[in-house]
Structure 1
Amino acid sequence: MKNPNLPQEIMIEIFSRLPTKSIGKCRCLSKRHRSLLSTPQFIKTHFTTHKTHHQEEHLILITPSHSITTINNDAVSTKLDLPNTWTNVVGSCNGLVLLANEEGEKLLMNPITLQQLEIPNSPLALNRYESFSMHGFGYDSSTDDYKIVTLSYYNSDNEYEPDCDDIFVDVYSVKTGVWKRVDSSPYDHAVPHLSSGSFVNGAIHWLASSPESGYPSVIAAFDLANELFDEIPAPIGVDAQKFVFNMLMVVDGCLCMIDVRRNGATDIWVMKEYGLRESWSKISVERDYEWDIVKALCFIGDEEVVLVTEQESLVVHNMKDGSLKDMIVDGAPATVIDGGTFVESLVCPVVDAFNNA
C-alpha cells in the first residue's frame, strides 16, 4: 500500500471486494495485512459483501475410494488431501462443510482455505453399536455460532407403533467446543434412511413421523436459536402417511424433497418461499434412466439440475425438455457416494485461529 496510514475501515472496504482466493495472496504481503485480513470483523464483512450478490455454488464429492473432490463454477476439479476417510457430506453453511464417516467421526472444514477442525465425540453419545444416529449442521445467528446437532435413538423394532421411545438430541457449539443434551424430539425419527439434516432459515430439518393417531409424516424443523422442534408444511399432494420414506435436502438455498414414485419416475419438490405450503413447486423426472434418483445437488442456470443416482453416478436433468445425461467433468470422479454444495468464504472453523497463531 502506498499510504501505510490509510484508515483500517477504508482498507477493509477495499479488500472486502476482492475474491476469496485473492485474500489468501494478500495475507502474504506483510504481517499487517495478515492480521487485518484475518480478523473476525473482516471475514464477516467480506462474506456479507459477496453474499449480497448471488454466490456461485461449488460441488464437493466423495468417491467410493473416499477421496474428496471439489468442482468450481468453471468446472475445474480439485482433489483435497484430508486426514482419515469420509463417507458423508452432512451439510454446509457459509462456506464451511461438515464431513462424517461410518465410525462416527466428524470433520468441519473450509474447502477453499483448507482450514480444518476435528469435532470431538460427544460424551453423551449412545453406544454406536447399539443405536442409530443422524447429524445436522448449521449457523445460529442469534449467538453467532455454528452448531452440530446429533439425533440418536435405540431401535425397539416395533412393527406397529413408532420405533423409538426417546429421540436424544445433542448439540455441539463450535464457539465453545462443548456438547450438551437438550429436550428430546417429540417425533419418531426412526426412518428408512439415516439422512443428514437439511439447514435452511436457521433450522435443521428431518423427515419424521408424528406421535398423533396414524403416525402421519412430518417435516420436523429444529430451530438452532431456541433449540426446539417445530413443523414445516409439506407439499400439497404428497402422501401424508408415506412421505417419511422420501429424501430431504437443500438445493440452491431452498428446502427440497425427492419422491420416487412406484412407476420409477421421480418428483423433486422445491420450497421456493420458506414455510409457505403453496410455494412448493414440482420438477418431474420421468423414468428414462436406468437408476433411481437419490439426491439433487444444484441447479445449472434456469433449466438444468445436477442429480446423484442410485448407481452412484452424476446426471444432469434438463427441466425444459425432460432429457437426462451423464455429467462428466475433466479430472473429477466418475462415481460418487455422496455430495453437496458450498460457497466460497474465508470463514474459519477454528475460533480465533489466526489471533492465536
Structure 2
Amino acid sequence: MKQVEMECDSPPWIPQELLRSIFKRLPVRTLIKWQCVCKDWKDLLNGPSFIQEHLEYSGHENPSLLFCFPTIHETREFCTVDSEMQVLPVESLPLIEFLRNAIVIGSINGLVCVKSNCKFKPNDNFINIILWNPAISKFRVLTKESNFFVNMGFGFCSIGGDYKVVIITYHSYAWTSWIHQVEVFSLSTYSWKKVEFGRLLDGVQIPFDGFGTNGAIFWSAYNGNGHFLVSYCIATEEFALIPSPISATELSHFLRCRLSVYDNKLALLSRTTSGNFEYTLIDLWVMEERKDSISEKRWSWTKKYSVKHPYDLHPSLVWRNMIVCKYFEVLREGNNVSKCIVDGVVLVNLTTYELKRFTFRRYGVDFEVFNYVESLIPVDQIHIKEL
C-alpha cells in the first residue's frame, strides 16, 4: 500500500480560539518547543496577531524585571525576576565579547537594546549596538562608526510599528560639550539617518542615556536655567523641551532623577536625603500631556507619592505599584556617618509604604534594572503595538 504523507493539522475538536487562549498563557520557552509540533501551530505562534496577543497577556499578568550585573571579567550577567519573585538566569547571552563594559539602554516589548563599549583594536572608533530578545535568544548587532562621546535612546512607536535607536553625538569626550549631531536607526528600514534639531539643543547637557515610552524617548537634561527633559517623538522626528517638576533651587539637593513609567504615563523619581543620611525622601511625579496645545503648558506634572524612610535608598524604577530601589546600609560612629555598605534591593510599596528586602546572593547594588516582559517579538521588523 502506498503511504501518503499528510501535514499535521490541529485536532479538529480544538477550536483555534481555544488554542490561542491556551498558548498566550504559556512561557516563550514552551511555545518555541511547540512550534515544532506541526506547521499549523508554527504559523499560528509566529503570526503577528498572536505575538501581539501573547505580549499583551504577558505584560498584564506577568510584568517582570531584567537585571544586568557586571562580572569580574568586565562582561555582563543577566537574570529576570517575575511577578512571583522567582529569579531566573538568562541563558544564551549574545556574543559575550560584545558584553564587555556594556550598558543596557532600554527594554521595550521584550526587546533589549545594549550599547557595547568594547574595543577590539586600540584605535577602534566603532560603537556596537545589540538589539536582543532574551526570551527567544535572538539578536542583531549594529555597528556605527563614531569618534565622539555619545548618549543613546531606544524607543518604539505604534504608528508604523517601528523601533528606533537614537545616538546623540558630542564634539568632545565630555557631555558638557555642545551637541554635534543626532542620528536615528530605524529597524523597519534597517538604516540610519540624521535628524535636524536647529538651535533647540544649544547649551543643553544630557548626562545620561534616554528612556523610551509612549512613542517617544526622553532624556534628563540641564542648562544654565536648571533641570528639564528633552523629548524626541519617534513618529514626527521632532525634539521638544519639557519643563521639570524640580526647580533649580531644589536641584542642588537631588543626587539624581530617574525616569520610569507609572499608570502608562511618563514618571520621574526624585531622591533627596537629609544632611547626615537620617532619611531618604523619594517623590514620584507623573506627567500629563495635552495633545491640543503647543505651548509649555502642554505638559503638567502631578506628585503622586512622597515616600520617606530612615534608609539610604536610590530609586531605579516603578514596578507593579512598587518602587525598586538600591539599598545602602549606613554605618555610624556617634553622630557621624562612617561608611555606606551596599546591601541589595528594596521594594517600596506605594500603597502601604512598606519595605521588602530582596537580596541577590552574589551581587550588591552595582546593577542596572529595567521593566521587562517576555515576548516572541523577533529582532527584525514586525508590526506590534506598545504596551
Please indicate, yes or no, whether the TM-score normalized by the shorter chain is above 0.5. yes
Instruction: Find the aligned partners of 1:35 and 1:342 in 2 and give their Cα distance.
Output: 26
Higher RCO (CA 8 Å, separation ≥ 6 residues): 1
* Equivalent AA in structure 2 for residue 44 of structure 1: Q
CA shift digits 1:94-113 (9 cap, x unpaired): 12111223334322222222
Change beyond 3 A, Cα 1:221–1:16: farther
Query: Are 1:195 and 1:247, in contact at CA under 8 Å, matched by a contact in 2?
Result: no
- Are residue 284 (structure 1) and residue 307 (structure 2) matched? yes
Choose 85-94 or 246-255, whichever is displaced more: 246-255
- Are residue 117 (structure 1) and residue 147 (structure 2) matched? no
1:267 corresponds to = 282
Q: Please, which runs of 5 or more residues in structure 1 have no aligned partner?
A: 353-357
Change beyond 3 A, Cα 1:69–1:45: closer
**Superposition deviation, residue 75 in structure 1:** 1.9
Change beyond 3 A, Cα 1:99–1:165: closer
Change beyond 3 A, Cα 1:156–1:96: closer
* Equivalent AA in structure 1 for residue 143 of structure 2: N
- Are residue 197 (structure 1) and residue 210 (structure 2) matched? yes
**Superposition deviation, residue 245 in structure 1:** 6.4
1:106 corresponds to = 129
1:58 corresponds to = 64
* Equivalent AA in structure 1 for residue 318 of structure 2: C
- Are residue 47 (structure 1) and residue 55 (structure 2) matched? yes
Which structure 2 residues correspond to residues 1-357 of structure 1 after superposition, within 5 A?
1-3=10-12, 10=17, 14=21, 17-21=24-28, 22-48=30-56, 50=57, 54-65=60-71, 66-80=76-90, 81-82=92-93, 83-84=95-96, 85=99, 87-103=102-118, 104-118=127-141, 120-123=142-145, 125=146, 127=147, 131-155=148-172, 163-184=176-197, 186-187=200-201, 188-191=203-206, 194-209=207-222, 214-235=224-245, 239=249, 246-252=256-262, 253=264, 254-261=266-273, 263=275, 264=277, 265-271=280-286, 273-274=288-289, 276-286=299-309, 288-289=310-311, 291=312, 293=314, 295-300=315-320, 302=321, 304-309=322-327, 311=342, 313-319=344-350, 324=355, 326-328=357-359, 333-351=363-381
* Equivalent AA in structure 1 for residue 233 of structure 2: D
Change beyond 3 A, Cα 1:323–1:14: closer
Normalised TM-score (structure 2): 0.72
Choose 37-46 or 266-275, whichever is displaced more: 266-275
* Equivalent AA in structure 1 for residue 45 of structure 2: L
* Equivalent AA in structure 2 for residue 297 of structure 1: L
**Superposition deviation, residue 151 in structure 1:** 1.2
Instruction: Find the aligned partners of 1:114 and 1:274 in 2 and give their Cα distance.
Output: 37
SS at match of 1:143: coil
Query: Are 2:316 and 2:323, in contact at CA under 8 Å, matched by a contact in 1?
Result: yes
Change beyond 3 A, Cα 1:237–1:36: same
**Superposition deviation, residue 309 in structure 1:** 4.5
Change beyond 3 A, Cα 1:333–1:245: closer
**Superposition deviation, residue 242 in structure 1:** 5.4
Normalised TM-score (structure 1): 0.77
Instruction: Find the aligned partners of 1:184 and 1:232 in 2 and give their Cα distance.
Output: 15
* Equivalent AA in structure 1 for residue 144 of structure 2: S
**Superposition deviation, residue 321 in structure 1:** 6.1
CA shift digits 1:254-287 (9 cap, x unpaired): 422323356353433231645652433243334x
**Superposition deviation, residue 12 in structure 1:** 7.7
SS at match of 1:33: helix
* Equivalent AA in structure 2 for residue 91 of structure 1: G
Between the two proteins, the alignment pairs up a number of residues equal to: 327
**Superposition deviation, residue 244 in structure 1:** 9.4
**Superposition deviation, residue 306 in structure 1:** 1.7
Identify the structure with the greater strand proportion: 2
**Superposition deviation, residue 176 in structure 1:** 1.9
SS at match of 1:70: strand
CA shift digits 1:216-258 (9 cap, x unpaired): 3211111111111113342266747659963232144442232
Change beyond 3 A, Cα 1:338–1:18: closer
Instruction: State, as a whole percentage, how many aligned pairs show the same letter.
Output: 22
Name which one, 1 or 2, has greater alpha-carbon Rg.
2
